[in-house]
Chain A
Amino acid sequence: MIEFAEVSKRYPNGQEALKRVNFELADGEMAFLTGHSGAGKSTLLKLICLMERATSGQVVVNNKNLNRTSRRKIPGVRRNIGMIFQDHRLLFDRTVFDNVALPLMIEGYPHREIGRRVRAALDKVGLLSKEKHSPIMLSGGEQQRVGIARAVVNKPPLLLADEPTGNLDPELSAEIMHLFEQFNQVGVSLLIASHDLSLIAQMHYRTLVMKEGRLVQDQVDSLEQDSEEVASE
């Protein structure tokens, strides 16, 4: 699903965010990406959805080489990736329904199909009763779930999440993670950037650890033994 080969990213201001990163995420695999802030997690995710481009190396997503993707093809790439952000990035001048419907509207789905899919996605995240609300009336956890519904509504094969539980209390965080597991069970690949080590430790999934732009650890199971060690760094 995702393939990084010797990927480096240097920003125009000279900051080297990624240094020769190599990894692969298989189809249907779920993995965590962790490390201190500034370690390069966000940059890595941005390269996958073409918010940034690699300075060198190859990024292949969904069998498409992103180095050779023209500006005009970017929307096509993003439609196959569901993105979830720490700050949700919802549109506050529209209802919950309209927010979730956005990816489908963009792709020109028929009206009835949009209604069906949006309600299915909202039902999945437990917010079906709030479809007519404005996102501003919802709690932080609910807003995040609207963001998740929007990311999965067009059923993309890959979900990226950047600190999806960053602003949530542990209970809500666990709920969100549980949702991600459910998506993974039906074949969606997920890459979740998070520094919530205790949460990751409970989950028993592959974990990639970044430090100063390098991938320093690629643990196939979980960080259970190493979590304290990384946390104490």
Chain B
Amino acid sequence: MSNDQLTGASLSQGATLSARLNMLVRLHKIEARRGILDILANPISNFMTVLVIAIALALPAGLQILLENGKSLSENWDGASRISLYLKSDLSQSKLLELADKVSQEPGVANVNIITQQQALDDFKQHSGFAEAIEQLDSNPLPPVLVVQPAVSHASPEASEIMLSQFKTYREVELAQLDLDWVRKLYAMLQLAEKAASALGVALALAVLLIVGNTIRLSVQNRREEIEVVKLVGATDAFIRRPFLYTGFWYGLLSGVTCWLILTISLLWLQDPVANLAGLYQSQFRISGLGWLQSFQLISASCVLGLLGSWLSVGRHIRQIEPR
């Protein structure tokens, strides 16, 4: 040992910046490795933890995917919004055809269907079961109807609403009605379900934070002795915290990937039955899985939760450990 003994403590400041940076990167690598080894050291119980987190994440994420599929399904039904024009009863057949022609020229109209008074009556007889009662009537009480199908570009509730007010100005139109109610109800239900999914998501995200926090707390307690020793040789809280943060991050990453697997397998499993069902309704609808962006979002959200959970837990518990 030479005579630079006393100046030794300040020597580290003389090291070049790149060398120190290099060491920092190396330290992070060591700690990242130690973090993952910590998890692998106890594979079964830690895998359980990962699975619990993954399932907690899969619930809201799966619900979200189903909702998005539901939305795209309802968007496919652009036939949903139809406008019924109930005309005045005294309209002649030729006037009726003329009007139908005029209506179909309006911008945003895809197609016009004519239901004459007679057709309406026949329809009603067939479906209502009041055929005999209707036979007794002297005259046909039903008006002729034009069923207007808006073009896809005009199918939104707002555009249909505008078209409706346009038709209301027609002299021949007794009553114009937008058959939107059930679409509105479906949208409202989807919105409600979306809110519920968000609430569930928040609750389960909190649960994930608690699970990770608790796991890290146990890990801190297990390494109590080690923490005391490194504190004695002058480690800062930040230095002690780092490996635990890495452990939390790894938990997040492993759980995110596991969650992704769970969702992808479940969706694959649903694919065939859904296609079958859609086929029965003459629909080409196919359930869509996780895209690249969504997968990335899911896994990074999981990593952030893992990191945050351990960060919230580790600071508090490290403070409580002081060397004796």
Contact = CB atoms under 8 A, between A and B. Distances in A.
Interface in A1-30: none
Interface in A73-125: 75-80, 83, 89-91, 93, 102-114, 120, 124
Contacts, number: 99
B15 A110 contact: yes
A150 interface: yes
B9 A155 contact: yes
Given A186-B3, A187-B6, A78 B233 contact: yes
Contact of A155 (B8, B233, B235): B8
Given A75-B235, A120-B1, A152-B1, A109 B12 contact: yes
A207 interface: no
A55 to B, nearest CB: 17
Contacts of A110: 15-16, 19-20, 22-23
Interface residues of B, number: 34
A180 B70 CA distance: 77
B98 interface: no
Interface string B1-32: 11111111101100110011011101100000
A186 to B, nearest CB: 5
Interface stretch (B48-56, B116-124, B151-159, B224-232): B224-232
Contact of B234 (A93, A103, A155, A188): A103
Interface string A54-80: 000000000000000000100111111
Interface in A32-69: 49, 51
Contacts of A106: 230, 233-236, 239
Given A155-B4, A186-B2, A108 B232 contact: no
Interface in B202-246: 226, 228-236, 239
A154 B1 contact: no
A13 B39 CA distance: 40
A157 interface: yes
A45 to B, nearest CB: 12
Contacts of A89: 228-229, 232
A69 to B, nearest CB: 13
A89 B229 CA distance: 7
22 contacts: A51-B323, A51-B324, A75-B235, A76-B234, A78-B234, A80-B9, A90-B229, A93-B226, A102-B233, A103-B234, A106-B239, A108-B23, A109-B23, A110-B20, A113-B11, A154-B8, A156-B9, A157-B5, A186-B3, A187-B3, A187-B5, A188-B6
Interface of B: 1-9, 11-12, 15-16, 19-20, 22-24, 26-27, 226, 228-236, 239, 322-324
